[in-house]
């Protein structure tokens, strides 16, 4: 791992002379985790916890809130463990200083490579802005007809229907799905189809996961992409042990800073 | 007496008129805005007042053109004496709410509306990826808890697809492979280049200096960064633009679902529009700021999700020229609130209800302080005022002697605006008719002198550059 000013176009916030520089912050964050704790090797009985530092990407208008002297605009924490019924229990915290959003998400997935969403899930959102909105809740489930039902602040709405034969997972489970699907993705010319329930609220049907390329930034990483209807491309970079070390969208770069089991 | 309706104004940012699947665009899916179209009247001849965010939004807020509002650029400042829609509706007994993007400099949105959500730091021009989902959460909180007896007016300002600007800014600093090189999207999956990818170089000086020359006044760094784009890069821009629109369409879908589920749809009128469009490769152009069709023409839908209001549904109005100044009087009309004197717009309510009404036969558009356009049945006329030799900060016009170059397009035979007919003597009478319309329209304006230092600075700097171009051709 070197501190050189190396980038890839998919995670390359290099605007102007901000201090600290993006590359330094990225490397500093990556140094914080032990790359030997891979998602593929996770002990089923124990809780796996990944902590991501959220750095900006592409957009110059981000706000760090009150935090001076760092690029970080928030944190994403993903915890999961498998129960005796072979269900994965996920607990995700996502806090963003620019939007003021603080999402707490709980959901369960089957013990399969696609981590299909099962039974019900819950989202609790709080916002630290100064305006009238401060909290929203959402409970959801998938019906037998594969319709996504949401109960938002107690009011039930449909979020759409998942196509037959396509697995539905949550974007926050992709940190395990992509490592598990590496062989299937690489064996396919045009990737694999998946349906994603973004933040457990927005159904993104007909999404595709595919292989991008391999790079050495700052150590060996394999890149994968995801896009779909209403889903701008995002890029997922796996280390040799199957950790998603970097995940970037147009606006955010999630950099793995802590991995605990 | 019928209870006055709730009014929901949903707006997107930088959304071109034809970027909806309901209108036959095969390159994106917008099922939720399509639902508004099926439940309402779509005005196909709808134009912004000025193709940039703050300027266009100042017209929404006031019903005035931008030479009247004090906001001819993003760096403008709304004249403090002008009443805005929130103030007028409040006085009329409505509870008025704002959520999301506002971008009317010089007017504190929190003083005119109760704000549901306006970012942790106030929302500026961009950042849909951060703000739009939070805006929907805020609206969900509002709709599921609204219990007041008074009707509400709620305006939701979604930022997308404005994030396409950030996509473009990213190309300022590095070369990003085209999508086929990336291996992400096959060439077959990309939209084609627009039919009007090429353009007639006989443009106004304002178009050239603002958007074409290497040291263009607006976003020269992007221009430099994309000079060597190949065809696939341009097509990938379009592909991404459509994904941004699908993203905001999904946000709108959640709002509409909640409106139905709460029963509020029974008495809620919905207006959908965008502040301006996106060039998206037409005329080898990106973003807005020009007077070409893709930049100035926007969707405008008036809808109701139940049968209780007299809204003609699933209807394309191809006849009436609608402008951004029409939002204000339309909302006031439905709210049964008096429209302030001098408001330029007209209520589209009679048209939505299928009644006859005397209507204008053109749309009038301003751009970058000096630019002007008239869109009429047969022709689009684009022109510019030359900078004054001594700037007095009174927005120019009407002054035929001060007009600069012109562009004239035959809207029936050249909808892509690829051949400038203005220099052809055969069309000199058509140019004169359009110019007369422009000057007559400008007589009706109540232009006010720009007093805020920010727009004054821009006028001085840009005016100097434009004068240099006029004097030395560069």
What does B25-67 look like in DSSP terms, one character per residue?
-TT---HHHHHHHHTEEEESSEE-SSSSHHHHHHHHHHSS-HH
Measured between CB atoms, does B467 come within 8 Å of chain A? no
Q: Does A229 touch chain B (CB under 8 A)?
A: yes
Cross-chain Cβ contact B247/A232 below 8 Å: yes
Is the model's pLDDT at B355 over the cut of 70? yes
Q: Is B137 on the interface with A (CB under 8 A)?
A: yes
Residue in A with minimal Cα distance to B248: A230
- What are the tokens at A70? 């760092």
Distance CA B474, CA B465 (A): 9
Q: What share of chain B has pLDDT > 90, as a percent?
A: 94
Indicate the SS3 state at residue B115: strand
ipTM for the predicted complex: 0.93
Q: How many CB atoms lie within 10 A of CB B195?
A: 10
Predicted confidence at residue A3, as pLDDT, reads 39
Q: Is A251 on the interface with B (CB under 8 A)?
A: yes
Q: What is d(CA B56, CA B64) in angstroms, rounded to the nearest whole number?
A: 10
Any A CB within 8 A of B133 CB: yes
Residue A111: CB atoms within 10 A of its CB come to: 14
Per-residue model confidence as pLDDT tens digits over B400-435: 999 999 999 999 999 999 999 999 999 999 999 999
For A10-58, the DSSP string reads TB----TT-SS-HHHHHHHHHTTS-TT--STT--TTS-EEEEEEEEE-S
Burial of B454 (0-12, 13-18, 19+ CB in 10 A): middle
Residue A2 has pLDDT above 80, yes or no: no
Binary contact (B258, A152; C-beta < 8 A):
yes
Please check whether residue B115 is in contact with residue B99, taking contact to mean a CB–CB distance below 8 angstroms: yes
**Interchain pair B144, A210: CB under 8 A:** no
Model confidence at A1: pLDDT above 50: no
The answer, for B241 touching chain A at a CB cutoff of 8 Å, is no
Chain A contact for B144, CB < 8 A?
yes
B183/A contact by beta carbon, under 8 A: yes
Give the minimum alpha-carbon distance from A44 to chain B in angstroms, rounded to a whole number: 33
DSSP type of residue A8: B
Average pLDDT, chain B: 96
Taking residues A75-88, what's their average pLDDT? 96
Contact at 8 Å (CB) between A208 and B179?
no
Specify the DSSP element, H or E, that contains B349: helix B349-352
Q: Which of B115, B170, B246 sits opposite A131 (nearest CB)?
A: B115
Inter-chain residue contact B121 with A96, CB threshold 8 Å:
no
Q: What is the DSSP string of B285-321?
A: --SS-S-SHHHHB--EEEE-SSSSS----SEEE-S--
Question: Would you say residue A5 has pLDDT above 70?
Answer: no
Chain A window 38-57: which residues touch B at a Cβ cutoff of 8 Å? Answer: none
Residue A31 confidence (pLDDT): 83
Over residues A131-143, the pLDDT tens digits come to 999 999 999 999 9
pLDDT band at residue A4 using 50, 70 and 90 as cut-offs: very low
B180 CB near a chain A CB, below 8 Å? no
Residue A39 has pLDDT above 60, yes or no: no
Question: For A251, which of B130, B177, B260 is closest by C-beta distance?
Answer: B130
Distance from the A45 Cα atom to the nearest Cα atom in chain B, whole angstroms: 35
CB–CB contact A136 B137 (8 Å): yes
- Interface list for A 81-100 with B (CB within 8 A): 96-100
Reported as a pLDDT band with limits 50, 70 and 90, residue A180 is very high
Tell me which chain A residues have a C-beta less than 8 angstroms from the C-beta of B114. 132
Q: Comparing C-alpha atoms, which of B109, B163, B156 is closest to residue B137?
A: B156
The whole-angstrom separation of Cα A29 and Cα A13 is 15
Three-state secondary structure call for residue B1: coil
The Cα B172–Cα A128 span in angstroms is 33
Mean per-residue pLDDT for A120-129? 97
- DSSP per-residue string spanning B408-426: EEETTT-TT--S--TT-GG
* pLDDT one-digit tens code per residue, B242-290: 999 999 999 999 999 999 999 999 999 999 999 999 999 999 999 999 9
Task: Indicate yes or no: CB of B240 within 8 angstroms of CB of A14.
Answer: no
Give the global pTM: 0.96
Q: Write b or e for each residue in B426-441: b if 16 or more Cβ atoms lie within 10 A of its Cβ, otherwise e.
A: ebeebbebbbebbbeb
**CA dist A25 → A20, A56, B129, B314, B442 (Å):** 7, 11, 22, 53, 55
Q: Where are the alpha helices (DSSP H) in B144-271?
A: 164-169, 179-182, 205-211, 220-225, 231-261
The mean pLDDT of B338-346, rounded to a whole number, is 96
Q: Name which of A197, A168, A193, A196 is nearest A181 in CA terms.
A: A193
User: Going by DSSP bridges, is the β-strand pair B403-410/B152-157 parallel, antiparallel, or unpaired?
Assistant: unpaired
Query: Is 80 exceeded by the pLDDT of residue A204?
Result: yes
| Rounded average pLDDT over B141-146 | 97
What does the mean pLDDT of chain A come to? 88
B125 pLDDT band, cuts 50/70/90, is: confident
| A68 confidence band (pLDDT: 50, 70, 90) | low
Q: If you measure CA to CA, which chain B residue comes closest to A101?
A: B134
Q: What is the pLDDT of residue B203?
A: 98
Tokens 């106030």 map to which residue? B122
CB-based contact (8 Å) between A124 and chain B?
Answer: no
Q: Which residues of B touch A154 (CB under 8 A)?
A: 144
Alpha-carbon gap, residue B59 to B67, rounded angstroms: 10
Query: Does A157 sit within 8 Å of B257, measured CB to CB?
Result: yes
Name which of B29, B114, B250 is nearest A202 (Cβ-Cβ).
B250
Coil vs helix vs strand at B116: strand
> B120 vs A233: CB contact, 8 Å cut-off?
no
How far apart (Å, rounded) are the C-alpha atoms in residues A111 and A83?
10
Who among A98, A155, A232 is closest to B258 (CB)? A155
Instruction: Mark yes or no for CB contact B134/A101 under 8 Å.
Output: yes
Tokens 């099962």 map to which residue?
Answer: A118
Of B99, B140, B249, the CB nearest to A136: B140
Residues of A61-97 as b/e, b for ≥16 C-beta within 10 angstroms? bbbbbeeeeebbbbbbebbbbbeeeeebebbbebbbb
Q: In whole angstroms, what is the distance from residue A40 CA to residue A56 CA?
A: 28
From B184, B244, B261, residue closest to A157, measured CB to CB: B261
Query: Chain B contacts of A203, Cβ < 8 Å?
Result: 250
**Shortest Cα distance, chain B CAs vs residue A9, angstroms:** 6
Q: Are B128 and B167 spatial neighbours (Cβ–Cβ below 8 Å)?
A: no
Check if A136 contacts B (Cβ < 8 Å).
yes
């Amino acid at each position: 791992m070197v501190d050189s000013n190396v980038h890839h176009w998919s995670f390359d916030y290099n605007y102007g002379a901000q201090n600290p520089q993006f590359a330094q912050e990225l490397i500093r964050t990556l140094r914080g985790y032990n790359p030997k704790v891979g998602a593929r090797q996770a002990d089923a009985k124990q809780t796996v916890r990944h902590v991501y530092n959220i750095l900006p990407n592409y957009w110059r208008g981000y706000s760090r809130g009150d935090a001076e002297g760092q690029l970080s605009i928030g944190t994403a924490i993903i915890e999961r463990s498998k129960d005796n019924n072979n269900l994965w229990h996920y607990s995700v915290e996502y806090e963003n200083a620019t939007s003021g959003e603080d999402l707490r998400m709980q959901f369960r997935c089957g013990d399969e490579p696609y981590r299909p969403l099962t039974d019900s899930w819950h989202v609790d959102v709080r916002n630290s802005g100064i305006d009238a909105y401060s909290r929203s809740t959402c409970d959801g489930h998938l019906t037998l007809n594969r319709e996504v039902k949401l109960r938002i602040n107690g009011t039930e709405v449909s979020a759409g229907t998942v196509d037959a034969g396509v697995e539905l997972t949550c974007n926050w489970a992709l940190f395990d799905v992509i490592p598990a699907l590496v062989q299937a993705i690489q064996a396919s010319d045009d990737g694999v189809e998946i349906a994603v329930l973004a933040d457990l609220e927005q159904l993104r049907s007909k999404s595709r996961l595919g292989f991008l390329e391999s790079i050495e930034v700052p150590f060996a990483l394999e890149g994968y992409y995801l896009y779909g209807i209403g889903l701008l491309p995002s890029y997922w970079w796996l280390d040799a042990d199957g950790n998603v070390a970097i995940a970037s969208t147009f606006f955010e770069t999630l950099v793995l800073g802590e991995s605990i089991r | 007496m019928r209870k006055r309706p709730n009014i929901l104004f949903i707006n997107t940012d930088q959304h071109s008129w034809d970027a909806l699947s309901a209108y036959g665009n095969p390159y994106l899916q917008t099922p939720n805005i399509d639902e508004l179209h099926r439940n309402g009247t779509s005005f196909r001849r709808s134009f912004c007042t000025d193709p940039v965010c703050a300027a266009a939004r100042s017209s929404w807020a006031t019903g005035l053109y931008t030479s009247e509002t004090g906001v001819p650029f993003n760096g403008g400042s709304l004249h403090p004496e002008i009443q805005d829609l929130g103030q007028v509706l409040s006085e009329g007994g409505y509870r008025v709410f704002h959520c999301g993007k506002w971008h009317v400099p010089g007017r504190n949105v929190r003083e005119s509306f109760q704000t549901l959500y306006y970012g942790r730091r106030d929302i500026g021009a961009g950042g849909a990826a951060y703000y739009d989902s939070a805006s929907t959460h805020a609206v969900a909180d509002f709709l599921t808890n609204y219990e007041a007896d008074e009707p509400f007016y709620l305006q939701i300002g979604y930022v997308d697809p404005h994030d396409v600007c950030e996509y473009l800014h990213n190309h300022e600093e590095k070369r990003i492979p085209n999508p086929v090189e990336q291996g992400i999207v096959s060439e077959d999956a990309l939209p084609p280049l627009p039919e009007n990818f090429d353009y007639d170089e006989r443009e106004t000086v304002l178009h050239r200096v603002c958007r074409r020359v290497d040291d263009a006044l607006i976003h020269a760094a992007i221009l430099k960064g994309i000079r060597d784009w190949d065809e696939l890069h341009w097509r990938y821009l379009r592909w991404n633009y459509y994904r941004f629109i699908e993203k905001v369409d999904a946000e709108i879908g959640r709002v509409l679902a909640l409106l139905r589920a709460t029963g509020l749809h029974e008495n809620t009128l919905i207006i959908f529009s965008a502040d301006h469009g996106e060039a998206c490769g037409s005329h080898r152009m990106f973003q807005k700021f020009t007077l070409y069709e893709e930049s100035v023409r926007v969707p405008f839908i008036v809808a109701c999700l139940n049968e209780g209001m007299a809204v003609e549904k699933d209807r394309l109005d191809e006849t009436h020229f609608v402008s951004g100044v029409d939002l204000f009087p339309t909302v006031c009309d439905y709210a049964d609130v008096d429209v302030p004197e001098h408001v330029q717009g007209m209520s589209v309510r009679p048209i939505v209800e299928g009644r006859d009404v005397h209507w204008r036969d053109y749309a009038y558009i301003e751009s970058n302080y000096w630019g002007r356009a008239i869109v009429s049945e047969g022709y689009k006329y684009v022109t510019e005022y030359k900078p004054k030799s001594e700037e007095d900060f009174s927005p120019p016009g009407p002054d035929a002697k001060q007009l600069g170059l012109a562009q004239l397009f035959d809207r029936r035979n050249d909808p892509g605006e690829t051949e400038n007919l203005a220099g052809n003597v055969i069309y000199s009478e058509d140019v004169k008719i359009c110019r007369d319309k422009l000057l007559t329209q400008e007589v009706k304006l109540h232009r006010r002198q720009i007093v805020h230092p920010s727009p004054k600075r821009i006028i001085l700097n840009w005016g100097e550059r434009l004068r240099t171009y006029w004097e030395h051709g560069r």
